[in-house]
Amino acid sequence: MLPVALESLIAALKTLCATFPDRRTGGNTVYEMADIGLAAFATFFMQSPSFLAHQTALARGRGTSNCQTLFAMDRVPTDNHIRSMLDPVPPAALLPMFDKTLGMLEVGGGLAAFQRLDGHVLIALDGTEYFCSQKLSCPNCSSRARANGKTEHFHAMVSAALVAPGHVRALPLEPEFIVPQDGAEKQDCEARATHRWLAAHGPKYARLKPIYLGDDLSSRQATCEAVQAFGSHFLFTAKPSSHKTLYSWLDGAEVPAMENRIKQGARFVTHRYRWLEGLPLRDGKDALLVNWLEIEIADHAGKVTYRNSFVTDLAVSKNNVAELAACGRARWKIENESFNTLKTKGYNLEHNFGHGQQHLSAVLATMNLIAFAMHTVADLVDAAWAAARAAAGARRRFFEDLRAITTYLVFPTWAALLKTLGYGALPPAIPDG
């Protein structure tokens, strides 16, 4: 456990934000780019649209605020200023933070909890829309026609996250934004963005022995080969409707099967597995040979309640088919834990800062993912944070407490704040300014 995980990650973010391009000229540079970046980040990290306003009010009375003490800022810029200064920043400028959060997880001993299938990690890739409007738009919006004749503008990304079955946390990795690409004839799409993600980040993550998880769109030969190009593995959903050749080979073949009865409450459910190795992924002589597995869950009355099937380049046998299926199913976690959290649990985008005309929407989405990554790392490797979370009970309650207490009190350090939340320690006295 690392008592200073948060401080060092916030310091790293400050260093990174200081390198943002600053297009101001002349004397209009009261606020450093580092303050501007950290101010946006703090809003997401505290999950409080009014955090900056409260801190500005605190600073008026006390001469300092939690922006200075907890987020290492010098001054607190306004929402309007943040919007106009962050809009030109390319989101790629923030990506090094994902290495820092993963590095902190590793140093703090939190990576082992994500390892499955004999030392592999699971990286789930998924397409997610994070903005949609018929009114607001920017040149980086994608668009589509709606049935009512109106045009809908949206932003989407391929998100990536470390996930593991049976593990309640997910760690976001770098996103790849789906945006109109220079010189491309067709609108950008999830498959292209997935390939860009793999080309940009796949080689770096190969050391973690990743197994990539993806939906039925991913289980195409080009994507499987892109994963294998640097020695990594895939475990992708493969539906019968989009893999006719593969499924025609299954017909009439002798397919190994097994089932486990699992106690769920007072009743038993049945997990049935089937698998077969060496099937062609598609038609044609150059088809990649893959291994296939299926899981079917039946309730106590024998009614099938869940069925899914996957293709992988990992060997499948009765010894590992249940764990492989559990890993394949862990992909839902990226949706449930990363993005439902982003969308519904207080990480709302755009509440303060608007949509922008260049990169603002993607920059804020990235800030949000970094806040989520830092929460995950703090949950897993920061003992004081974990104790404060445990003391609050539900996640929502923890952030309510965090918001409330920092509205009225200035804490000199995260350690002091977390000690008050976690162990009921008296808040340290800060002299009135």
* Contacting positions for Zn ion (CB under 5 A): 138, 141, 361
310 close to 332: Cβ distance less than 8 angstroms: no
Q: How near is the Cβ of 392 to Zn ion at its closest, in Å?
A: 36
Angle between helical axes of 360-381 and 96-107 (0-180°, round to 10):
0
Q: Which is nearer to Zn ion, 138 or 430 (CB)?
A: 138
Cβ nearer to Zn ion, comparing 271 with 359: 359
- Nearest-approach distance from CB 133 to Zn ion, in angstroms: 8
- Of 341 and 361, CB closest to Zn ion: 361
DSSP 3-state of 111: coil
Minimal distance in Å, beta carbon 198 to Zn ion? 25
Q: Which is nearer to Zn ion, 141 or 198 (CB)?
A: 141
By beta-carbon proximity to Zn ion, the closer residue of 139 and 284 is 139
CB neighbour list of residue 23: distance below 8 Å, 6 or more residues apart: 88
We find the least distance from the C-beta atom of residue 365 to Zn ion, in angstroms, to be 11
How much helix, strand and coil, in percent to the nearest 5, is found in the chain? 45, 20, 35
Closest CA to 159 of 194, 131, 211: 194
| Full DSSP string of 83-108 | HHHHTTS-GGGGTHHHHHHHHHHHHT
Shortest distance, position 361 Cβ to Zn ion, whole Å: 5
Q: What is the spatial distance between Cα 173 and Cα 193, in angstroms, rounded to a whole number?
A: 14
CA distance 3 to 242: 49
Closest CA to 14 of 91, 51, 68, 61: 68
Q: Is 272 helix (H, G, I), strand (E, B) or coil?
A: strand
Q: Where are the alpha helices (DSSP H) in 46-95?
A: 51-62, 66-71, 79-86
| CB closer to Zn ion, 193 vs 321 | 193
Quote the least distance from Cβ 92 to Zn ion, whole Å: 17
Q: In angstroms, give the least distance from the CB of 105 to Zn ion.
A: 32
C-beta separation of 62 from 410 below 8 A: yes
Contact 198, 174 (CB under 8 A): no
Q: Which residue, 3 or 354, has its beta carbon nearer to Zn ion?
A: 354
Q: How far is the CB of 241 from Zn ion (least distance, A)?
A: 33
Element housing 227 (H / E)? helix 221-228
* Contact yes or no for 95/200 (Cβ under 8 A): no
CB 363 within 8 A of CB 86: yes
Q: Which is nearer to Zn ion, 53 or 136 (CB)?
A: 136
Phi/psi zone of residue 242: left (φ > 0), alpha (ψ -120 to 50 degrees), beta?
Answer: alpha
Backbone angles phi, psi at 210, to 5 degrees: -75, 150
* DSSP at 426: P
Q: Which is nearer to Zn ion, 161 or 365 (CB)?
A: 365
Rounded least distance, CB 372 to Zn ion, Å: 21
> Smallest gap, in angstroms, from Cβ of residue 138 to Zn ion?
3
Minimum CB distance to Zn ion smaller for 6 or for 178:
178
Is 6 strand, coil or helix? helix
Q: How far is the CB of 141 from Zn ion (least distance, A)?
A: 3
CB 236 within 8 A of CB 311: yes
139 versus 278: smaller Cβ distance to Zn ion? 139
For residue 337, give Cα distances in angstroms to 117, 309, 350, 403, 427: 22, 22, 20, 22, 32
